[in-house]
Amino acid sequence: MPVEHPRTRTLRVLLEPQNPALALQLGLQPDIDVVRDAAARPEVALVEEVAAVTALLEDVPECRILVLTGSARPGLREAALAAGAAGLIVRDGPVEDLADAIRRASTGETVIDPALG
C-alpha cells in the first residue's frame, strides 16, 4: 500500500535582478518555485541592493526580502533591516544554505548569515 506523504508547501521566490544560474539552482529545490516578477506575489525575494527592498515592499508588502551581499560592509546589516529586509545573506554561499535562509525567512524569522555576524 502506498504511503501518503504530506505535500510540502511551494515557496514563490523572486530574484531581483534576475539571475538565471541561481534560478536554476534554486529551482532544483523541491519546495522552491522561482518566479519572474512581483505580479506572481512571491513569498520571498532575493535582492542585491538595499534600495530595492523599499520598492518591492510597496508592490508586495507581505513579501519577506533577503539582501544578498558579497561581503560584510559597515552599516549594511543595519541599513537592510531598517529598509524592511528580513535578513542579509552571503551571495556566493552554498545553494543549500540559501534555500534554508529562504525557508526560514518565509516563516517570519530574521535571517543573518553567520559569516556576516
Average pLDDT, the chain: 91
Residue 64: what residue type? R
Q: State the helix-helix crossing angle for 95-106 and 20-27, rounded to 10 degrees.
A: 70
**pLDDT at residue 72, as a whole number:** 79
Chain-centroid distance of CA 15 in Å reads: 8
- With a cut of 70, say whether residue 8 has pLDDT above it: no
User: 117: pLDDT confidence band, cut at 50, 70 and 90?
Assistant: low
**pLDDT tens digits, residue range 49-101?**
999 999 999 999 999 999 999 887 889 999 999 999 999 999 888 999 999 99
pTM score, two decimals?
A: 0.89
**For the residues 30-55, what does the mean pLDDT come to?**
96
- Among 3.40.50.720, 3.40.50.150, 3.40.50.2300, 3.40.50.200, name the CATH number for the domain at 11-116: 3.40.50.2300
